[in-house]
Structure 1
Amino acid sequence: MLDLTADPADLLATIVDIESVSGNERQLADAVEAALRGCPHLDVLRDGDAVVARTHLGRPSRVAIAGHLDTVPVKNNLPSRRESGRIYGRGACDMKGGVAVALGLAASLTEPRHDITWIFYDHEEVAGDLNGLGRLARTRPELLEADFAVLMEPTSARVEGGCQGTSRFEITTTGTTAHSGRAWLGHNAIHDAAPILQRLAAYEPRTVVVDGLEYREGLNATWISGGVALNTIPDRCVVTVNFRFAPDRDEADARAHVAEVFAGYDLHYTDFSPAARPGLHLPAAQEFLAAVGGEPGPKYGWTDVARFAALGVPAVNYGPADAGLAHTDNEFCPIDELYTCRDALAAWLASRPREAQLAVPELVDERSLSG
């Protein structure tokens, strides 16, 4: 069982210790559902291994706060450990720190000034067509309706706007097999991949400012496969390319750009996810920025803010831990950032900032004890 009234660091350690590699989220989803059903102010729904909890207080606005439950595979980094003011363990950074903050607030904020939809979903770390938030968007879009959304991705407790788009495509070269001792009788498909790699090596990615934030693009080979046997000239080679593009490009522009870079080649797309513009000029985002403070930055990589944006819901990334540690063997979440995010979100969501302080009077003592 999860104790949602526990210190955020203790709650995070408990959540980390419930292994939830993508496809194996059920135990954690069960624990989250059971804990939230113990909160009388929340209406709780379950969809697969996604858990949605909502207030229905008749507020004039609704916000959504979301986080994914799954992690990449474990690599000798469970159970969790606490050391030097940090919680270490698989998922501590990406993104169980954010989930712990959200769960604690879902339980404690019984009278927020916005109605709130809390979303804890599955299958974020795998193919996009399996994504639990995407499933909700397709089958239960009414559950994602909101005036503003916060995705609790790791951002080192600062607001990161929008996200890059991402596409993956394959370029295949073909040849003729032959014994490598008689190579002149065949045609080497792997050698024909050299011009593709040369174009990638020579490519100069853009840096572009979108809505005041600077985004960097990237076009890179991320996988190459080919070969029949160690003594055989290969008749096929496949180069997989990943394009990370800035949010000023839509799908048509992104596809047109890579088609120009690889003119003369057929591109087979295996994945495409659109970017999301920051939208920090919008009133809801401005209010959130004013409440949490700090200087906003861009989100490098793709996140589910793009799914909210596609539904017309402005969204930002905001959560504890450094995204640069995500998926690493030694990932961790700083305990002080758990408190920073909890304080900021509580102040933003409470009826008045003073109420947020009264709801968690022990915060100063917890910080001093966390060391």
Structure 2
Amino acid sequence: MSVPDLNLRADPVELTAALVDIRSVSGDESLIADAVEAALRAQTRGFEISRFGNRVLARTHRNLPTRVVLAGHLDTVPIAGNVPSRRTRTPDEGDVLLGCGTVDMKSGLAVFLHLAATLDDPVHDLTLICYDCEEIAAEHNGLGFIEREKPDWLAGDVAVLGEPTGGLIEAGCQGTLRVRLTAEGTRAHSARAWMGENAVHKLADALTTLREYVPRSVDIDGCRYREGLTAVGIGGGVAGNVVPDQAHLDVNFRFAPDRSQAQAFAHVREVFAADLADGVLSAQLTDSAPGALPGLRHPAAAALVAAAGGRFRAKYGWTDVARFSALGVPAVNLGPGDPSLAHRADERVPVDQIREVTELLRGYLSAPAGAGGELLA
């Protein structure tokens, strides 16, 4: 198949449509990577360009005092009859572009590529990272490969991830972990239940604890993060006439980025300390990912907030900004599109929002550093 031509200098709405029309479901990004690489080599100046698998990397070396990393993923979830893209108008949203990846996150990627080709005199050195396999298991994430194999490419003073935020700055992200609470009992015939020990019943106190749990709210750099501890799964039972000898409760803790993963797990153990101490339950950490501090006090990050009119808010969900935060790079999410529309068959983005984010970032990348910020609830 021939490599599609991408015009990086075109209206970023048209560039978004062209990217959407290149099918790039996770694990099948070679064609879009080829197209992005070819366009960057032909239409940008002053960039060192590197290809690493299906990851396309580009950076300038102007010896400017600060470096901004722009990172966006090339892949989408499986297509749901929504490729190729199409333009339409809705009563509430006006002119929109529909198609797989319009929100998550080919519109954000189009903004970054367009700016790489059209910024004449940026005040920051730029790094552009276009990576694969973000929408599937973390072990395949292309940004993770870069972190392990080419970590110097992630160096910077601030990173901007093109995740959909409705055009607002969402700073940092919360961490997440899952814990399985397991209860052991003794199996018996339900007609003689007194001869057994019901494992399901042993989960009752844990469920009450969750119902009465009061989550913490914490302010970091003007961003208010609201934690949550929630039951997300429960299992147990053998048959309709058997007292179950094992049951489990899966709990998800979304924690503010001032906690480490170890501290977050310790907090969960503290919440269920009575049942764990008595041996009623055991706790196993089954999944964990760190949060990301917003880092908005860094001058380069403060300048981005100023360019956005001082409007920002906390990011509650986990994103790849956590990878940058772990490296000491302040990171924010900023991209067109309503994240609640991501992955839907009717995924769509207002075209004006693509242009607005483009101009917001153009102003930031072209203007001297500033400061200031206002929290959005």
Identity of aligned residues (%): 53
SS in 2 for 1:72: coil
Q: Which residue of 2 aligns with 1:72?
A: 77
Structure 2 CA distance for partners of 1:202 and 1:342, relative to 1, 3 Å: same
1:43 aligns with 2:48: yes
* Deviations 1:144-180, CA, capped at 9 Å, x for gaps: 1112211111111121211111112222334455677
1:14 Cα shift?
2.4
Say if 1:111 and 1:351, in contact at 8 Å, map to a contact too: no
Q: Which residue of 2 aligns with 1:96?
A: 106
Bigger drift between 142-151 and 73-82 goes to 73-82
Q: Which residue of 1 aligns with 2:62?
A: 57
CA distance in 1, matches of 2:242, 2:53: 47
1:88 Cα shift?
2.0
SS in 1 for 2:311: coil
Q: Which residue of 1 aligns with 2:134?
A: 124
Q: Which residue of 2 aligns with 1:13?
A: 17
Residue 294 of structure 2, aligned match among 263, 271, 278:
278
- TM-score where L is the length of structure 2: 0.84
Residue 7 of structure 2, aligned match among 3, 10, 23:
3
1:116 Cα shift?
0.7
Q: How does 1:129-144 map to 2 (within 5 A)?
A: 129-144=139-154
SS in 2 for 1:333: strand
CA distance in 2, matches of 1:218, 1:23: 33
1:106 aligns with 2:116: yes
CA distance in 2, matches of 1:229, 1:24: 44
1:202 aligns with 2:212: yes
Say if 2:260 and 2:290, in contact at 8 Å, map to a contact too: yes
1:181 Cα shift?
7.5
Bigger drift between 18-27 and 140-149 goes to 18-27
Q: Which residue of 2 aligns with 1:367?
A: none
Structure 2 CA distance for partners of 1:238 and 1:339, relative to 1, 3 Å: same
CA distance in 1, matches of 2:255, 2:69: 26
1:57 Cα shift?
2.8
Q: CA RMSD in A?
A: 2.7
1:324 aligns with 2:328: no
1:325 Cα shift?
2.7
CA distance in 2, matches of 1:327, 1:290: 31
SS in 2 for 1:38: helix
Q: Which residue of 2 aligns with 1:368?
A: none
Aligned partner letter, 2:130: F
CA distance in 2, matches of 1:172, 1:285: 44
Q: Which residue of 2 aligns with 1:357?
A: none
Bigger drift between 277-286 and 119-128 goes to 119-128
Q: How does 1:127-206 map to 2 (within 5 A)?
A: 127-175=137-185, 188-206=198-216
Aligned partner letter, 1:12: T
Unaligned runs of 5+ in 2: 90-94, 370-377
1:239 aligns with 2:238: no
CA distance in 1, matches of 2:128, 2:238: 50
Say if 1:158 and 1:294, in contact at 8 Å, map to a contact too: no
CA distance in 2, matches of 1:49, 1:232: 53
Say if 2:98 and 2:349, in contact at 8 Å, map to a contact too: yes
Say if 1:159 and 1:294, in contact at 8 Å, map to a contact too: no
SS in 1 for 2:27: coil
Unaligned runs of 5+ in 1: 354-371
CA distance in 2, matches of 1:92, 1:188: 50
Aligned partner letter, 2:260: D
CA distance in 1, matches of 2:204, 2:24: 40
CA distance in 1, matches of 2:29, 2:184: 41
CA distance in 2, matches of 1:107, 1:275: 32
Structure 2 CA distance for partners of 1:186 and 1:73, relative to 1, 3 Å: farther
SS in 2 for 1:60: coil
